[in-house]
Amino acid sequence: MNEKVLVRILKIGVLASFVMPLIVMGQSTIFPFVFAKAIYFRILVEFMVILYAALILWHPQYRPKRTFIFYTVWALMFALIFSSIFGVDFSHSFWGNYERMSGVFTILHFAALMVISASVFRTEEEWSSVWRVSLVVGLIVGITGLNFLLPDDSIMKIGGGGTLGNLIYLANYVMFTVIIAWYVWRTDTNKFWRYAALGVGIIGIAIMMYNGKRGPFIGLLAGGIIGVIAYALASKEKHLRLWCLGALGALLVIAGVTFALRDTKLIQNISVLQSLTHITLSGGTAETRFIAWEIAWKAFREYPVFGWGSENFYYAFNKFYNPKSLEHGYYETWFDRSHNIFFDYLAMNGIVGFLLYISVFLALFYTAIRVFRKAKISLLAYLFILIFFSAFASQSVFVFDHLSSFLLFFLLLAFADSLCRTVPLAAQSTSFHAAGSGFFSSRPVILGVVAVMMLWMVGTFNIREFNINNNTLVYQRLFNGRAGEALANFTALVKGSSVYSQDVSSNYAQAIMNFVQDPQTAQKSELKPFWQLAIDGLQATMSAHPLELNGFLKLAELERMGVAYDPSGLDNAEKYYEQSLALSPKRQQIIYSWTRLKAERKDYDGALKLLDRAIADDSNLGDSYWYKAIVLNQMGKKDEAVVSLKKALDARMRKLPANFQEAIFAADLLSQFQEFALVAPYYEQALKEQPNNARLLITLARVYTKLGAQDKAKEMIDRAQLADPKLVEELKKEIENQKK
């Protein structure tokens, strides 16, 4: 095997990994910012593994070396595998899901990329090509996050985070790019790239300020401070130390002035500065983060050794769900991460995974310091390693990993590992096996086995899964006009074999729920086969993933919708709600949905019992009182309903009704008790949705008359006259007859 050719191709493969952050397939895949990225990256690495196997079999000098970084990273990989085996859902841990695609299987590919990169890039000069490509990609990613440059219908604008689809992901990636830009600016021998890097760094900071996310910005500041301190300690010249101290002092002064002026228009208009100077430990996202961290701690205490398993924080969050999360909105009640990487490892991978994750940083810093002291790497490379990983660790307190951050994280580990290998630490310089001995003597056979395994993985776990994901999206579009064909295709998908069968069944079930709810569709098609397939798919999912809360909730909703096909549907729905509440005992969404079902079945006592349970868990939530008012009104207990309704309108999360029906309900109920001062805003809200509703206009005119607002009352009558003059005349005659 030609050594130079193999090394060159592998280097190109490493550079090609930077295509991943740019991939967006909005018309082809579900979760277009994530799924296709993972598939591309995994296929790329699997082909690289074949070539790397050939390289190390015939050229043993490229085999992995025994370094502290190598040992700790791969010890962490084994810890992730063990946490998956001993966790609560192995399949979910190992494969992940469409939304994240960061199961253990994918993470192992990043670790493989680290080994390959550290083997084929040996010097700072060789690594310069990696950082140059990184700068170009980082700049493109950052620019795609500038929404004012994108057309309104761009999926990247809708997602809000450019090609990464998430604002915090984008800020996180640009933070890394800024640090890399500093290193290239200071070290690259090419004048063009030095100034290009300087420009990218400045633009990157501007993009971070435009983005407004404070976590990555805090990470960048922390990395900078660590870098200045490390530079001061490493420098032997007194004036440089004084310069560093002066820089830190200036930074503190700037920070103090910025904080003092935090309420001025200048600071308020710069989102990231406004965010940094108004950090609070209560309210907003801070409180939801503390709730998530508390849940992570409870999760760790339940499974302290290997944790719940990678990617399984969602299950722990459901079990230990805190009702106060809903005070911050429904969006804040579905976490699959604690928004803190360290807490994530503690909860999902236990004390073993957590300590090994920390050990990666310790090994990195220890080795970098030791190598630098022995003058084996340059001062700038040493500072680069410290700054990057200090920034990464600091921002990790506020964010969580994603595919593109994994890429840079593992490449930086490879960079540090490759440079630090020059230190002869206890047999570090020797390969794992001598060339041509023992197991390695059958080189063609070994290469053939590796190639077959990798190609099988490419076809089975990547190309096949990509087709399934793509077909799920394509077949959904067939519901409009080609429903029969859609059903036939989906039957093959739902009943087929996929490592992401949980996602396939869930996506199909959601599509069917939307399909069945469309009155026109319901009249045109025989829906039972569609409905039954959704039920069958979810039941199979729940059998394999018994902690999957969303599956039970969708089953309950489908059973309610399909009562015409199965008379026991409502009983089944109650059973699924009960199972859901067992998985997440304090989750209000389950209680509210179950309450509606009980009210439909006239089990009012059961509905009130559930709502009182929700109120006992958190009395600040207006939605609980709102649903209680609806139930009491249906029971004919108008007085109690009004009392509950007023509590709903005074409490959090219930400022105004969400839609026309809710607004009419609130206004009509309050009208019966002459609460006209409260009534008007709700009729007005209803009028916004139906501005030409003559009956509503006349009703609002009566309310204004009661409130003494005669001008507004006349305006409503005039509008009603234009909207439906016949109805107005009938009402006038009705009023005259009542006077007689």
Tell me the per-residue pLDDT of 291-326, one tens digit each, with 9 for 90 and over. Answer: 999 999 999 999 999 999 999 999 999 999 999 998
pLDDT of residue 56: 95
Is the predicted pLDDT of residue 480 greater than 50, yes or no? Answer: yes
Confidence class of residue 564 from pLDDT cuts 50, 70 and 90? Answer: confident
Does 714 have pLDDT greater than 60? yes
In whole angstroms, give the CA distance from residue 134 to residue 217: 19
**d(Cα 704, Cα 717) in Å, to the nearest integer?**
11
What pLDDT is recorded for position 530?
A: 86
Residue 498's pLDDT band (boundaries 50, 70, 90)? very high
Query: In the prediction, which pLDDT does 613 show?
Result: 96
Does the pLDDT value for residue 586 go beyond 70? yes
Gap between the Cα atoms of 379 and 387, Å rounded:
12
Model confidence band, residue 267 (pLDDT cutoffs 50, 70, 90):
low
Task: Tell which wins on pLDDT, 420 or 130.
Answer: 130
pLDDT given at position 435: 46
**Is the confidence at residue 728, as pLDDT, over 90?**
no
Query: For 92-106, what is the mean pLDDT?
Result: 96
What the chain holds in terms of domains, given with CATH numbers, is 64-432 (no CATH), 470-669 (1.25.40.10), 670-740 (1.25.40.10)
Position 433 scores a pLDDT of: 46
- Going by pLDDT thresholds of 50, 70 and 90, the confidence category of residue 399 is confident
Interval 213-261: pLDDT, tens: 878 888 888 898 888 888 888 876 666 666 767 777 776 776 666 656 6
Query: Residue 643's Cα: distance from chain center in Å?
Result: 40
291, two tokens? 């709730």
Q: Looking at residue 330, what is its pLDDT?
A: 82
User: For residue 431, what pLDDT is reported?
Assistant: 44
The b/e string for 18-30 (b: 16+ C-beta within 10 A; e otherwise) is: bebbbbbbeeebb
151 vs 81, which has greater pLDDT? 81
Q: Which residue has the higher pLDDT, 657 or 164?
A: 164
Residue type, 119: S
pLDDT tops 50 at residue 670: yes
Q: What is the pLDDT of residue 432?
A: 44
Distance of alpha carbon 597 from alpha carbon 399, whole angstroms: 38
Average pLDDT for residues 560-572, to the nearest whole number? 85
Mean pLDDT along residues 533-545: 94
Three-state DSSP state, 431: strand
Structure tokens at 119: 């083997």
**Closest by CA position to 667, among listed 624, 625, 699, 643:** 699
- Local confidence band at 658 (pLDDT 50, 70, 90 cut-offs): low
pTM of the complete model: 0.88
Q: Is the pLDDT of residue 49 over 50?
A: yes
pLDDT > 90 in the chain, percent: 54
The pLDDT value recorded for residue 423 is: 45
Asked whether the beta carbons of 22 and 163 are under 8 A apart, the reply is yes
Closest CA to 498 of 479, 471, 476: 471
146 token code pair:
């500038």
The Cα–Cα gap between 585 and 347 comes to: 20
Confidence bin at 444 (pLDDT 50/70/90): very high
| Mean pLDDT estimate for the chain | 87
Check residue 23 and give left, alpha or beta (phi > 0: left; psi -120 to 50: alpha).
beta
Average pLDDT on 6-22 reads 97
| Whole-number pLDDT of residue 373 | 87
Binning pLDDT at 50, 70 and 90, where does residue 441 land? low
Report pLDDT digits (tens) over 621-652: 888 998 898 899 889 998 898 889 888 877 76
User: Is the model's pLDDT at 706 over the cut of 90?
Assistant: no
pLDDT surpasses 70 at 520: no
CB-based contact 141:162 (threshold 8 Å) = yes
Pick from 100-104, 453-457, 500-504, 701-705: least confident: 701-705
Q: Measured between alpha carbons, how far is 422 from 433 in angstroms, rounded to an integer?
A: 19
C-beta separation of 339 from 357 below 8 A: no
pLDDT at 537 over 80: yes
pLDDT at 665: 79
Whether residue 430 is predicted with pLDDT greater than 50 in this model: the reply is no
pLDDT value of position 707: 85
Examine the pLDDT at 352 and tell me if it is beyond 90.
Answer: yes
Q: Is 721 exposed, middle or buried (0-12, 13-18, 19+ CB in 10 A)?
A: middle
Q: Report the distance separating Cα 417 and Cα 378, nearest Å.
A: 14
| Segment 402-411, tens digit of pLDDT | 999 999 999 9
| Radius of gyration, alpha carbons of the chain | 31
- Report, as an integer, the average pLDDT of 544-572: 90
Top pLDDT among 42 and 681 is at: 42
Under DSSP, is residue 724 helix (H, G, I), strand (E, B) or coil? coil
Beta bridge partners of 431: 65
Hey, what are 137's tokens?
């990609």
Give DSSP secondary structure letters for 27-51.
TTSSSTTTHHHHHHHHHHHHHHHHH
